[in-house]
Amino acid sequence: MNVPAAWYLILAAGLFGIGAFGFLIRRSALIMFMCIELMLNAVNLTFVTFSRTLNDISGQAIVFFVLVVAAAEVTVGLGIVVAVFRRRSSTSVDELSEMKG
Amino acid sequence: MIALATAYSIPSVLVFVTSALLILVGAIGVISVKNPVHAALCLIMTLIGVAVAFVAQSADFLAAVQIIVYAGAIVVLFLFVIMFLGVDRREHIHFEPLVGQRAFAGVGVVITVAGLITLMARSHWVSGATSVTTKLSSGSGNVRELGTSVFTTYLFAFEATAALLIIAVVGAVLLARRERPSSEESA
């Protein structure tokens, strides 16, 4: 008998929690992007687990689209990081405070 | 461990433990190391762990794509930006500008994850109708089913992602391009 789906779901929830915690505490924009990738991977793992348990291919098809959107998001996000770094030679999100009231 | 081994087949338990170790150690590494290059390498570890979990759950094609796209393209893009900007300086990780930010973040995340797990446990983990669209193949490989599904049921979404990728590439080039002096001055 295979490992139950619950184990993988708990693992994915833990991975999502770690990613969310990192996103909240780190200040480097690059590390924050990596934490977003961690959270996206946790959701992908959940989709694949549901797909296997419900015996349905749609979960895997959705993971395919999540991968594509993640690639697009990283491309644009890193472009923004490069543009910001040109202007202020830092990737710390704390220094982007022009809009402060 | 012996009780587990009697309840579930030993290879599946071993694969799960391997993938869980890879995923959790890599994820904790991403959020705790100071050097961004090391964080990117820890991210690769997590991605490979997720690929192992995909293989264990009969998502073979997605496991290959996970390695190729994530570890091969996205992490390389991260590393390229780190090298390009020269931001491999260390971040002051113990410095906390907002007092109590970590404690609040930790409490919030713990509450969220505990609530999520409790919610799933109370609803028998997975509920819903089985095999609504296409069944997973029981034998080896699921590339044919996934391809058929993407190119029939999800054809419109597939074309939309193609357009999205083109737009993202053009946008990234525009964002990262250096301002060029006007052509009259250079001429």
pLDDT in tens, chain A (101 residues): 678 888 999 999 999 999 999 999 888 888 999 999 999 999 999 999 998 888 888 889 999 999 999 999 999 999 888 888 888 777 788 777 777 77
Examine residue B85 and state whether it is found in any structural domain, yes or no.
yes
Confidence of residue B184 (pLDDT cuts 50, 70, 90): low
Examine residue B121 and state whether it is found in any structural domain, yes or no.
no
- Strand, helix or coil at A28? strand
**B65 and B1 in a common domain:** yes
Examine residue B19 and state whether it is found in any structural domain, yes or no.
yes
pLDDT at A21: 93
Q: What is the CATH number of the domain that holds B2?
A: 1.20.120.1200
The answer to whether B71 and B48 are in contact (CB under 8 A) is yes
Examine residue B149 and state whether it is found in any structural domain, yes or no.
yes
- Model-level pTM greater than 0.90? no
Return the CA Rg of chain A: 17
Chain B residues within 8 A of A73 when measuring between CB atoms: 168
Examine residue B122 and state whether it is found in any structural domain, yes or no.
no
Q: Most B CBs within 10 Å: which of A15, A85, A89, as the mutation test of the B interface?
A: A15
Q: Which helix (H) or strand (E) holds B39?
A: helix B36-56
Longest dimension (CA), chain A: 59
CB contact under 8 A, B23 and A83: no
Task: From B19, B185, B11, select the one nearest A41 (Cα to Cα).
Answer: B19
DSSP-based helix, strand, coil % in chain A, nearest 5: 80, 0, 20
Strands (E), A37-101: none
Give residue B164's domain range.
Answer: 142-187
Number of domains, chain B: 2
ipTM over 0.85 threshold: yes
CB contact under 8 A, A15 and B23: yes
**B75 and B149 in a common domain:** no
- Which one of B74, B91, B108 terminates a domain? B91
Examine residue B25 and state whether it is found in any structural domain, yes or no.
yes
Examine residue B98 and state whether it is found in any structural domain, yes or no.
no
pLDDT digits (tens, 9 = 90+) for B30-66: 999 888 899 999 999 999 999 999 999 888 889 999 9
**B86 and B149 in a common domain:** no
Cross-strand bridge partners of residue A92: A28
DSSP B95-140: --SSTTHHHHHHHHHHHHHHHHHHHHHHTTS--S-S-SS-PPPSSS
A 47-66 residues inside an 8 A Cβ radius of B: 48-58, 60-61, 63-65
**B85 and B21 in a common domain:** yes
Q: How many DSSP H helices and E strands does chain B contain? A: 9, 0
**Above pLDDT 70, what percent of chain B?**
83
A21 touches chain B (CB under 8 A): yes
Examine residue B39 and state whether it is found in any structural domain, yes or no.
yes
- Locate the chain B residue with the closest alpha carbon to A85: B85
Q: How far apart are CA B153 and CA B145, in angstroms?
A: 11
